């Protein structure tokens, strides 16, 4: 009986390993969670035997999520880059943030990562998104003097001020 309890506890501990959790997240398509778990384990246990496994999982999850994001960006740019400017900006931000989380733990001997510089794309997408917010807000504001339209325009201008505080006359428009 005692051996059975020990065997069950051992099976439970093995099934809860971080490598298995990362693998499950990878299979389920939760790439960012798999990346987060792998980075955490690599940072905490640099000398562990499982670093190699975590590095390979990290590499695979990174490749898949970047591929998905780049495919989505391509589609958004083909559809309507003006209307999709917010999502385009957010995807570039997530691509850059993900890379910045991985950079401190590099190099990982058995894994390689294609680190790209998204600075130009981020700046362009911020400008496009800001222009979209400004144009949409002024369009709504000029459409009528309805209080509901003014509130909607205020939302666009507030987002613009958060994104780029010194954009044109956003302060006067918010007033």
**Greater pLDDT, 101 or 146:** 101
Q: If you average pLDDT over each of 24-28, 120-124, 144-148, which comes out highest?
A: 120-124
Q: What is the pLDDT of residue 41?
A: 87
pTM: 0.81
Tell me how far the alpha carbon of residue 107 is from its chain's centroid.
22
Query: Residue 80 pLDDT more than 70?
Result: yes
Q: How confident is the model at residue 113 (pLDDT cuts 50, 70, 90)?
A: confident
Query: Residue 60 pLDDT more than 50?
Result: yes
Instruction: Read off the pLDDT of each residue in 15-40 and give the average, rounded to a whole number.
Output: 81
**Mean pLDDT, the chain, whole residue set:** 85
Chain segment 140-166, per-residue pLDDT in tens: 888 877 888 889 889 998 998 899 888
CA distance 150 to 138: 10
Closest-CA residue to 34 (of 7, 59, 6, 8)? 59
Chain segment 30-42, per-residue pLDDT in tens: 899 988 988 898 8
CA distance 132 to 172: 18
Closest-CA residue to 98 (of 120, 119, 115)? 115
Query: Residue 14 pLDDT more than 60?
Result: no
CA distance 174 to 153: 9
80 sits in which H/E element: none
CA atoms within 13 A on the CB side of 16: 6
Alpha helices per DSSP H over 47-166: 51-79, 85-102, 119-143, 147-163
Q: What is the pLDDT of residue 5?
A: 56
């Amino acid at each position: 009986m005692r051996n059975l309890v020990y065997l069950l506890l051992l099976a439970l501990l093995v099934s809860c390993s971080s490598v298995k959790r990362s693998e499950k997240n990878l299979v389920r398509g939760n790439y960012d969670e798999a990346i987060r778990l792998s980075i955490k384990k690599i940072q905490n246990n640099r000398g562990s035997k499982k670093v190699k496994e975590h590095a390979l999982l990290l590499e695979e999850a990174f490749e898949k999520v970047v591929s998905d994001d780049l495919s989505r960006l391509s589609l958004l740019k083909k559809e309507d880059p003006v209307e999709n400017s917010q999502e385009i900006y957010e995807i570039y931000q997530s691509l850059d943030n993900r890379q910045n989380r991985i950079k401190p733990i590099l190099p990982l001997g058995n894994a390689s990562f294609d680190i790209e510089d998204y600075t130009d794309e981020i700046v362009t997408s911020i400008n496009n998104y800001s222009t979209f917010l400004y144009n949409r807000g002024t369009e709504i504001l000029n459409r009528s003097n309805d209080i509901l339209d003014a509130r909607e325009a205020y939302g666009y201008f507030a987002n613009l001020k958060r994104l780029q505080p010194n954009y044109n006359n956003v302060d006067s428009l918010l007033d």
